[in-house]
Amino acid sequence: MKRLLLAMVKAGSSWTITPLVIGLFFLIYIGIAFFTDETLIALMAFTRKSIILAALLALIPLNSAFRILRETGTYLTIRRVLSGKKADVMPELFDDAVELPASPSITELESRLAAEGYRTRRSENTLAAWRGISAFPVRALFLAGTFCLFTGILVSVTTRTSQRRMVIEGEPLPTPEGTGGTVDRIALANSSGSILSRTLTMEVAPSGSGYGKSVFGLYPPSLYGGFFVYPRYLGIALHFSFFAPDMPSGYETHCTLNTYPPGKEDNAIIPDSPYRIIFSIQEPDAGSDRYTSYMTGNITLRFKLLKGKEILFTGSAPGGGKFVRDGYRLALPDIRRLVVTDFIRDYGVLFIWWSALLFGAAICIWLPIRVFFPRREMVFRYEPDATRACSRAEGGSRKHAGVFHEALDLVDARKTEG
Amino acid sequence: MAIFFKLIPHVLSWVGIVLVLLRGLSGHRSVVTAASMAGFVIGVVGAFILLGSFPGSFSFGIIKSALGVSFLLLWGVSVATIYLSTGRRAAISGGGRFVNTKLGAGVVSGLAGIVAGAVCACRLTGTGGNALAVVLLALAAGALAYALVFAARAVDRLLPASFTVSMSGMLAAVVALLLFSSSSILRLDLFSPLSMKVMKGVHDFVHQFMESILIPDHLFVRPVVWKYIGFLFGKEVGFWGGMVIWFTPAVLIAMAIHFERLPSVAHIRQGAQRRRLLAAAIRVQRFRLVIPVLSLVIFSAAAYQSSFPSVEYWDPKPLPVSASQAGEIVIPKKGDVNLEDGKLHKYLFKQGDSEVRFFVLMTPAGKLTVDLDACAICKPDGYGQAEGSVICYYCKTLIPLETVGRVGGCNPVPVPFTEKADTVVVDGMTLLNSWSATVKATARVKEGGK
């Protein structure tokens, strides 16, 4: 069983798996690029639908996990060799290994290596010397980051669902699984943050289905009923009534309009009639914030009334106001703030966030270690009539090799003297 | 006479390819000589017949695909080389062993010869081909190949024996020379389409990434931050991204050679001897670096040639046109301008503050097409015409004339029109709407919109 497990770890932790899988996906990407301009979206769709592609992608996090296991094992073995707890020095774990037919004075060698800045440890028949900090923890962070990144991509590509809803002030929160609590307040404000220029908060009252009071911001997005609440765009919810000379009974409706930023047009069609009303929000005065109307809630709508392709007239009216001309009447009793919001179920996002943290930490730690304190190790094990010496370096290998060679020369010279 | 001057880059590339093959496969010189010459003749004749049988983008597409595959192969080999150089005991060096056999040397030399010959033959497009012409061409190609291989062998003999070439270095040089050779032919150029694909790929990737990790849209983000994000959507990213992809294989191969582990000298007890051995190993390593570094220079020349082609584009000044009372723009087929002459004819339509540039073109299939002088992806810098294609000035993508009038990619946006006996009629409002929608969308891309 143990042998089977070891074989599995060995196969799963192969160096070739990750580059081969990435290379294969790259080739598929190139292949798709010949047929469509939406190459990445098409590749994601293929991966979502194809079990084979998903399984191939899953090999990368699996490979990272196996590599963590294997490299942890190697690291621990080297530590045991250096501490003299392992009888066999295992030359395959080192860059360089050599055997000399001599058994010299450990003390002299130890003091020579200490003079070169190496820390040493003596045990019964082993002398270990090292300097610098091992990059293994960084490597583990990097592999964990790779694991999280590709797990995140896999989970995201294969399970993500996204549903767009209009979140309107004063209305229940329209979640994909029914409705949540009432949206008490939507607030847009300027922000002094270094990344975001505005903050958006949506306050939702406790719901009958057991959710407490919630406040949703921009980033990181909050979860509600298992969905990330991802605000996308701003708009308005409009309640209007319209009367025309040839429509004495009039028409009244609620609609949502995608009219931000100011100047952007959206239209409402009056059914069973030739009329269409194009709405837009008045541009604010020069120098003032374009979203002032949304922030304050004082929204004045401009409109164009069209009959067929002909513009009958244009005008403007604030929320609660009305406009009357030539027998036409347009009333805007209520304008509310609206946020076009995506409700996204995707737990891969959490893995991707974690991977960003792990990669960030890995690079911050790796760089100073690699530049200033690269790990260099050597170990000498004495047998009755021979010395076996091994050496490895994670950086500064030429200088380290020089010290190692001189140490070997010293061992050899003592043999000659002896 | 001009054709001989045009052949110079191809001839130089071919000599370089043979020279590198002779060095890299020094154990099989006669096989390399014979296979590369035969390959060159097959390539020239094969491409000549192909171009004669299927004129247009199909034949060029095949040759361009062969070049693309060779570049992909180089990428694969370079990644494997750098991977192996880090001491990983992966069994992926079987390809290197195969190339070192007689059969492998013949296959590699033959394939390099075929592609080089095919690229050369693309200079002869437009020449009518009958059986006699093919025989004469084969003889000429054979004579040229023989003379050039002879020259390459002469140069090879002058080089010192210690000047060795690694397998991956050899591949880098061969591919670099093939791409240099093809970069002087607009329809075979790979670098500009690569830059354009990178621009689109980066745009898609950034967009998907931001959506994936739920980053707020630009209305919430500080303009200065968005400007940095917007940089990722520009053509500069396409160009520099293309450069990275273009040069990385040769850089990886050079790095692999540079970081190759020196031989172990721990068993030698004389310091002087250790140093001598290490110095010799370092000298060999430096010699082997020469070819990958030279390949980088050749790749640079190819990218330069691609970015600044020595081609004059047909780019007429747009003629002003106006719409009738009914909103129709009527362009006569014949008159000052002949719409059916296969050339690009540009027009400028103004209405109020809006203006639209568009062109009319007769495709090689004999069909008229009316298109905006802009595509749905790039900033509307317009198009010029050269060598059987139109080029997007913004991203330098070549659009074969056969595909002008089709939607998608960097193709000019087609506009509906009516063809009458003597005129072409375009609706002014349709034109304005189409331009406004296209330019708005591409301006958003330019500004970094999602």
Q: Is 70 exceeded by the pLDDT of residue B129?
A: no
User: Does any CB of chain B come closer than 8 Å to the CB of residue A71?
Assistant: no
Residue type, B125: T
Contact call for residues A321 and A299 (beta carbons, < 8 A):
no
User: Does any CB of chain A come closer than 8 Å to the CB of residue B221?
Assistant: yes
Positive or negative, the CA dihedral A114, A117, A118, A121 is positive
Instruction: Give residue B87's pLDDT.
Output: 62
**Cβ contacts of B216 on chain A, cutoff 8 Å:** 196, 218-219, 231
What is the secondary structure of A342-364 as a DSSP string? EEEE-THHHHHHHHHHHHHHHHH
Mean per-residue pLDDT over chain B, rounded: 85
Question: In a mutagenesis test of the B interface, which of A10, A14, A15 is the best target, namely the one with the most B β-carbons within 10 Å?
Answer: A15
Task: Kindly report the nearest CA distance between residue A116 and chain B, in angstroms.
Answer: 18
Q: How far is it, in rounded angstroms, from Cα B244 to Cα B228? A: 20
Q: How far is it, in rounded angstroms, from Cα B340 to Cα B330? A: 15
Specify which residues A315 forms β-bridges with.
A303
Instruction: Give residue B75's pLDDT.
Output: 93
Residues B284 and B375 in one domain: no
User: Does any CB of chain A come closer than 8 Å to the CB of residue B265?
Assistant: yes
Q: Tell me the two tokens of residue A96.
A: 């360089």
Residues B294 and B323 in one domain: no
A40:B205 CB<8 A: yes
B269:A40 CB<8 A: no
Positive or negative, the CA dihedral A46, B212, B441, B198 is negative
Could you list the residue range(s) of the whole structural domain that residue B418 is in?
A: 319-447
Name the CA dihedral angle for B224, B229, B230, B232, rounded to a multiple of 10 degrees.
150
Q: Which residues 6+ apart lie within 8 Å of B282 measured at CB? A: B262
Specify which residues B329 forms β-bridges with.
B426
Q: Is 70 exceeded by the pLDDT of residue B268?
A: yes
Q: Is 50 exceeded by the pLDDT of residue B24?
A: yes
Task: Kindly report the nearest CA distance between residue B91 and chain A, in angstroms.
Answer: 9
Contact call for residues A234 and A243 (beta carbons, < 8 A):
no
A window 7-36, beta carbon within 8 A of B: 14-16, 19, 23, 27, 30, 33
Instruction: Give residue A146's pLDDT.
Output: 97
Helical spans, DSSP H, in A258-396: 292-296, 348-372
Residues B400 and B255 in one domain: no
Q: Is 50 exceeded by the pLDDT of residue B447?
A: no
Give the CA count within 13 Å in the CB-facing half-sphere of B117: 32
Instruction: Give residue B443's pLDDT.
Output: 54
- Final residue of a structural domain among B278, B307, B336: B307
Instruction: Give residue B95's pLDDT.
Output: 66
B219:A260 CB<8 A: yes
Contact call for residues B319 and B337 (beta carbons, < 8 A):
yes
Q: Is the pTM of this model over 0.90?
A: no
pLDDT in tens, B209-236: 888 888 888 888 888 888 888 888 877 8
**Residue for token pair 């003379």:** B147
- Considering only CB atoms, A219 lies closest to which of B216, B223, B225, namely B216
A96:B90 CB<8 A: no
Q: Burial code of B129-143, b = ≥16 C-beta within 10 A, e = fewer? A: eeeeeeeebeeebbe
Structure letter (DSSP) for residue B186: G
Q: How many domains does chain B have?
A: 2
User: Does any CB of chain B come closer than 8 Å to the CB of residue A409?
Assistant: yes
Question: In a mutagenesis test of the B interface, which of A162, A405, A408, A416 is the best target, namely the one with the most B β-carbons within 10 Å?
Answer: A405
- Considering only CB atoms, A37 lies closest to which of B76, B223, B409, namely B409
**What is the pLDDT averaged over residues B79-108?**
76
**Has residue B222 been placed in a domain?**
no
CB pairs under 8 A between A and B: 96
**Has residue B214 been placed in a domain?**
no
**Has residue B211 been placed in a domain?**
no
Tell me, letter by letter, the H, E, C secondary structure of B375-393: ECCCCCCCEEEECCEEEEC
Question: In a mutagenesis test of the B interface, which of A43, A151, A229, A232 is the best target, namely the one with the most B β-carbons within 10 Å?
Answer: A232
Q: How far is it, in rounded angstroms, from Cα B344 to Cα B341? A: 9
> Of the segments A53-57, B80-84, B367-371, which one has the largest average pLDDT value?
A53-57
Contact call for residues B395 and B192 (beta carbons, < 8 A):
yes
B83:A221 CB<8 A: no
Specify which residues A311 forms β-bridges with.
A306
A15:B88 CB<8 A: yes
Residue A356's pLDDT band, with cuts at 50, 70 and 90, is: very high
B window 223-242, beta carbon within 8 A of A: 223, 225
pLDDT in tens, B11-21: 899 999 999 99
Residues B43 and B190 in one domain: yes
Residues B327 and B384 in one domain: yes
**What is the pLDDT averaged over residues A325-332?**
90
Residues B171 and B48 in one domain: yes
Which of A235, A245, A242 lies closest to A271, judged by CA? A242
Mean per-residue pLDDT over chain A, rounded: 89
Residue A103's pLDDT band, with cuts at 50, 70 and 90, is: low
Question: In a mutagenesis test of the A interface, which of B93, B212, B413 is the best target, namely the one with the most A β-carbons within 10 Å?
Answer: B212
ipTM given for this complex: 0.75
Task: Kindly report the nearest CA distance between residue A104 and chain B, in angstroms.
Answer: 15
- Final residue of a structural domain among B279, B307, B335: B307
Instruction: Give residue A70's pLDDT.
Output: 92
Residue A50's pLDDT band, with cuts at 50, 70 and 90, is: very high
B212:A37 CB<8 A: no
Residues B412 and B346 in one domain: yes
**Has residue B223 been placed in a domain?**
no
Question: In a mutagenesis test of the A interface, which of B220, B269, B285 is the best target, namely the one with the most A β-carbons within 10 Å?
Answer: B220
Task: Kindly report the nearest CA distance between residue B422 and chain A, in angstroms.
Answer: 32
What is the secondary structure of A81-137 as a DSSP string? HHTT--SS--GGGSSEEEEES----HHHHHHHHHHTT-EEEE-SSEEEEEESB-SHH
Residue A418's pLDDT band, with cuts at 50, 70 and 90, is: very low
User: Does any CB of chain B come closer than 8 Å to the CB of residue A231?
Assistant: yes
pLDDT in tens, A373-408: 999 999 988 877 788 899 999 888 888 988 998 888
**Residue for token pair 């000589």:** B33
Residues B297 and B356 in one domain: no
**Has residue B36 been placed in a domain?**
yes
**Cβ contacts of A71 on chain B, cutoff 8 Å:** none
Residue type, A308: G
Nearest CA in chain B to A38: B204
Instruction: Give residue A253's pLDDT.
Output: 93
User: Does any CB of chain B come closer than 8 Å to the CB of residue A412?
Assistant: yes
User: Does any CB of chain B come closer than 8 Å to the CB of residue A192?
Assistant: no
- Final residue of a structural domain among B280, B307, B334: B307
Nearest CA in chain A to B450: A232
**Cβ contacts of B377 on chain A, cutoff 8 Å:** 37
Q: Burial code of A136-162, b = ≥16 C-beta within 10 A, e = fewer? A: bebbbbbbbbbbbbbbbbbbbbbebee
**What is the pLDDT averaged over residues B270-290?**
88
Q: Is 50 exceeded by the pLDDT of residue B148?
A: yes
Nearest CA in chain A to B222: A197
Task: Kindly report the nearest CA distance between residue A251 and chain B, in angstroms.
Answer: 31
State the CATH number of the domain containing residue B327. 2.102.10
Nearest CA in chain B to A11: B90
- Considering only CB atoms, A349 lies closest to which of B212, B217, B271, namely B212
- Per the model's pLDDT, the better-predicted residue between A95 and B387 turns out to be A95
Helix axes A136-159 and A39-49, enclosed angle (nearest 10): 80
**Has residue B328 been placed in a domain?**
yes
Residues B30 and B177 in one domain: yes
User: Does any CB of chain B come closer than 8 Å to the CB of residue A227?
Assistant: no
Instruction: Give residue B449's pLDDT.
Output: 39
Residues B160 and B303 in one domain: yes
Q: Is 50 exceeded by the pLDDT of residue B446?
A: no
Q: Which range among A62-71, A127-136, B398-407 shows the weakest confidence by mean pLDDT?
A: B398-407
pLDDT in tens, B109-125: 999 999 999 998 888 75
- Considering only CB atoms, B220 lies closest to which of A41, A196, A220, namely A196
- Percent of residues, chain A, with pLDDT higher than 90: 51
Residues B377 and B283 in one domain: no
Q: Is 50 exceeded by the pLDDT of residue B33?
A: yes
Residues B158 and B238 in one domain: yes
Q: Tell me the two tokens of residue B257.
A: 């050679």
What are the structural domains, with CATH classification, of chain A?
A: 85-132+374-418 (3.30.160.110), 158-233+343-359 (no CATH), 235-340 (no CATH)
Give the CA count within 13 Å in the CB-facing half-sphere of A208: 3
User: Does any CB of chain B come closer than 8 Å to the CB of residue A415?
Assistant: no
3-state secondary structure at position B178: helix
Helical spans, DSSP H, in B308-449: 428-447
User: Does any CB of chain B come closer than 8 Å to the CB of residue A195?
Assistant: yes
Q: Which residues 6+ apart lie within 8 Å of A399 measured at CB? A: none
**Has residue B379 been placed in a domain?**
yes
User: Does any CB of chain B come closer than 8 Å to the CB of residue A298?
Assistant: no
Contact call for residues A169 and A294 (beta carbons, < 8 A):
no
Q: Tell me the two tokens of residue A63.
A: 């490979």
- Per the model's pLDDT, the better-predicted residue between B98 and B21 turns out to be B21
Q: Which range among A115-124, A342-351, B434-443 shows the weakest confidence by mean pLDDT?
A: B434-443
